[in-house]
Amino acid sequence: MKGSGDRGYEGRVLRVDLGNGEIATETIDADTMRMFVGGTGLGAKILYEEVPPGVEWSDPGNRLIIGSGPLGGTKIMGSGTISIVTKGPMTNGATSTQANGFLGAYLRLNGYDLVVFQSASDRLVYLLIDDGKAELRDAAHLAGKDTWETQDAIAAELGKSEREVSVFSIGPAGENLVKFAAVAGDKGHVAGHNGSGAVMGSKRLKAIAVVRGKGSVKVPNSAALATVGSAIADALRADPVGRNRWDWGTGMGYNGAARAGWLPVKNYTTNVFPDSEPFMARNYRTENKVKLHPCWACRTHHLHMITIAKGPYAGYVGEEPEYEQWAAWGSVIGNTDPTGAFVLANETDRLGFENNEAGWVIGWVMECFEKGLFTEEQTDGLKMTWGNVEAARTMLQKIARRDGFGNLLAEGVMRASQWIGGEAAKCAVYTKKGASPRGHDHRTRWYEMLDTAVSNTGTIENGVSAALEEIGLTEPKPFSAADVSTVLAKAKGRMVFEDCTGVCKFCMATELRLVVDAMNLVTGWDMDVQEAYGVGKRIVNLLRAFNVRHGIAPEVEAPSERYGSVPTDGPAKGKSIAPEWEGMLDNYYTLMGWDRKTGKPLPETLRSYGLLRQVEDLW
């Protein structure tokens, strides 16, 4: 099918039926576009309407939706971001997960805002989009390749350089339906949460490749957009946290996390990690060969390609890890060597895993091994001791191929620990919906623990915003149950809205006003910050309605025993969230306008966001 080169934001959808090979183009109406904006919002609407209860994550009837947003492909920094929406295997509910890089921009340059995959192929295929034309190609020659190898192979096949084509693919983990498999692309960018890669694998879709093309994104007033873009950059540089991230990347939070007690250490067995300094970019960047590796239109010094200069991994090339990768392959598994963590982070991406779940899986195995709950015979001869990088590396390979003990671990922390049972099960870190948390020790960050548990997407749904004052709020007091649950409910919506715009969260201004201004310049809308939050809350309620219909009940909105445990040392020593949990849920549900018993958004709540069909479906 042929798309078009120069386009504004029109809601053009490329629909791909993997079962019969048919490809068609659709357009979403203007009212719907404003209600749901793009990315996560439009994906959530399609998911709700086209995936009814009873359709499981691996069923051909499931949808895999990859979308950009109104700012995608513009000169706004980081506007190559995609959002993937589907029904995922970790929670058996909705998924919304993002990746940066170039794919979102290249989709827009080819005239598409969204790609919807349905049905399943009877053979391994990949989708190619070039000059607005889309076709399915055989991918048998790509079977078993990791995500970097797949990108190189497709680029060579097309005669393109690395930046002339964006390739997002699944590695062996996705092909083998590992439940926490991810979709990874552009060498280091991963949409991982809730098993999006496993869904892609179930559809026998190896990759989506989009050539940059000759098109452009129409902007009615490009000079005004450039001015807003500069204001966003200035706001980031003016903010101390934003400036630190601008210069050094997200990993520069490592020391602060260790001092504040929210760095996850040895599978939550301790809250203390004295070896954080080597993981800081100001140290490892000076010791290794570093080359800037930015995403679309990004001006920050956030990411680099790094070649290890010395030691056992000398010559190893990979992308600079994000904070959560440093956490997973450093402190979570008791590893104090940043070069080993660097290798594990890149192996995780190449094999096609969601990094956090992979780290919690290995951390859980190591704790159980150290305690004698697992033997070498059980772990296929591997000495899974704290900090054993090579044992972890081999185990990741086994998980990706569902080999031996890796076949059980491929189910994720919750399912694997429940199958093992006994004392080992008590050591596992996860939410009772099925997925593990981000790379923080949430026992010192109650806001994120509550958000992770009540989230509709398999990961946090609303990080603590730097601009809460825009809506009359201040940061919640760390261990105040009432404050945490109140601020979470009242601030809900911002991050979900951001995931609709097609821009990297780390390139967002501290003030949402600037992002909304930029979006209005592209779309011609007159949206304000209040409406933007409303869009986010509309999507949150829609995803909640989807999950309720698919059998997810309030009973599973809780941490596992270890996840909700009491720290025995560190800054949060003795602080327990357990006695406060039910009261926090009561308050949150009330403020969100949800029924406490069933979890359903109340009829009046749904009507206030224009979700009339959902009133009929739920009530």
Domain at 293, CATH number: 1.10.569.10
Taking the mean position of all CA atoms in its chain, how far away is CA 100?
10
In this prediction, residue 154 carries a pLDDT of 98
DSSP string spanning 22-37?
Answer: -EEEEE--HHHHHHH-
By CB atoms closer than 10 A (0-12, 13-18, 19+), residue 75 is middle
Residue at 340 is within a domain: yes
In this prediction, residue 259 carries a pLDDT of 94
For residue 94, what is the enclosing H or E element? strand 94-99
Instruction: Say whether 430 sits in a helix, a strand or coil.
Output: coil
pLDDT in tens, 195-245: 999 999 999 999 999 999 888 899 999 999 999 999 999 999 998 888 988
Residue at 239 is within a domain: no
Final residue belonging to a domain, choices 425, 451, 475: 425
pLDDT in tens, 484-518: 999 999 999 999 999 999 999 889 877 899 999 99
Residue at 194 is within a domain: yes
Please give the radius of gyration of the chain, using alpha carbons only, rounded to the nearest integer: 22
Residue 6: pLDDT band (50, 70, 90) is low
Whole-angstrom distance, CA of residue 477 vs CA of residue 101:
35
Is there a contact between 266 and 331 (Cβ–Cβ < 8 Å)? yes
pLDDT in tens, 467-478: 788 889 999 999
Q: What is the token pair recorded at 7? A: 């386009």
CATH number of the domain bearing residue 586: 1.10.599.10
pLDDT in tens, 318-363: 999 999 999 999 999 999 999 999 999 999 999 999 999 999 999 9
Q: How many CB atoms lie within 10 A of CB 561?
A: 14
Whole-angstrom distance, CA of residue 471 vs CA of residue 536:
14
Q: What is the token pair recorded at 335? A: 């590893």
Mean pLDDT along residues 407-412: 98
Taking the mean position of all CA atoms in its chain, how far away is CA 437?
11
Whole-angstrom distance, CA of residue 485 vs CA of residue 587:
6
66 shares a domain with 28: yes
203 shares a domain with 85: yes
**To the nearest whole number, what is the mean pLDDT of the chain?**
96
Q: What is the token pair recorded at 368? A: 């159980």
340 shares a domain with 475: no
Buried b (16+ CB within 10 A) or exposed e, 291-314: eebbbbbbebbbbbebebbeeebe
Taking the mean position of all CA atoms in its chain, how far away is CA 450?
18
Whole-angstrom distance, CA of residue 412 vs CA of residue 459:
14
Q: What is the token pair recorded at 6? A: 């120069």
Which residues neighbour 68 within 8 Å (Cβ) at sequence distance 6 or greater? Answer: 38, 39, 81, 82, 83, 104, 105, 107, 108, 113, 114, 502
Residue at 238 is within a domain: no
Mean pLDDT along residues 111-119: 98
354 shares a domain with 462: no
pLDDT over 60 at 617, yes or no: yes
Whole-angstrom distance, CA of residue 503 vs CA of residue 522:
13
Three-class HEC string of 196-248: HHHHHHHCCEEEEEEECCCCCECCCCHHHHHHHHHHHHHHHHHCHHHHHHHHH
Query: Dihedral angle at the C-alpha atoms of 485, 490, 495, 499, nearest 10 degrees?
Result: 120
pLDDT in tens, 427-445: 999 999 999 999 999 999 9
Final residue belonging to a domain, choices 211, 245, 274: 211
Instruction: Say whether 169 sits in a helix, a strand or coil.
Output: strand
pLDDT over 60 at 2, yes or no: no
pLDDT in tens, 556-599: 999 999 999 999 999 999 999 999 999 999 999 999 999 999 99
Residue 466: pLDDT band (50, 70, 90) is low
Helix 389-400 to helix 355-370 angle (10° resolution) is: 120
Residue at 229 is within a domain: no
299 shares a domain with 412: yes
Q: How many helices (H) and strands (E) does the chain have?
A: 25, 15
Whole-angstrom distance, CA of residue 452 vs CA of residue 438:
8
In this prediction, residue 513 carries a pLDDT of 94
Domain that holds residue 416: 262-425
Mean pLDDT along residues 242-258: 91
By CB atoms closer than 10 A (0-12, 13-18, 19+), residue 50 is middle
pLDDT over 60 at 418, yes or no: yes
Three-class HEC string of 247-298: HHCHHHHHHHHHHHCCCCEHHHCECCCCCCHHHCHHHHHHHCEEEECCCCCC
Whole-angstrom distance, CA of residue 171 vs CA of residue 357:
16
Is there a contact between 37 and 70 (Cβ–Cβ < 8 Å)? yes
% of the chain residues with pLDDT over 70? 98
Whole-angstrom distance, CA of residue 199 vs CA of residue 192:
11
Whole-angstrom distance, CA of residue 609 vs CA of residue 550:
21
177 shares a domain with 314: no
Residue at 437 is within a domain: no
Residue at 32 is within a domain: yes
Final residue belonging to a domain, choices 211, 241, 276: 211
Is there a contact between 444 and 550 (Cβ–Cβ < 8 Å)? no
Mean pLDDT along residues 20-34: 97
In this prediction, residue 3 carries a pLDDT of 44
553 shares a domain with 467: yes
DSSP secondary structure letter of residue 181: B
In this prediction, residue 1 carries a pLDDT of 42
Whole-angstrom distance, CA of residue 267 vs CA of residue 226:
45
308 shares a domain with 375: yes
In this prediction, residue 465 carries a pLDDT of 62
204 shares a domain with 149: yes
402 shares a domain with 533: no
Nearest CA among 92, 48, 192, 53 for reference residue 431: 92
CATH number of the domain bearing residue 107: 3.60.9.10
The pairing of strands 183-185 and 317-319 is unpaired
Q: How many CB atoms lie within 10 A of CB 380?
A: 14
The number of distinct structural domains making up the chain is 3
Which residues neighbour 377 within 8 Å (Cβ) at sequence distance 6 or greater? Answer: none
Whole-angstrom distance, CA of residue 157 vs CA of residue 153:
6
Residue at 358 is within a domain: yes
450 shares a domain with 597: yes
459 shares a domain with 361: no
Which of 91-95, 397-401, 406-410, 467-471 has the lowest average pLDDT?
Answer: 467-471
In this prediction, residue 242 carries a pLDDT of 86
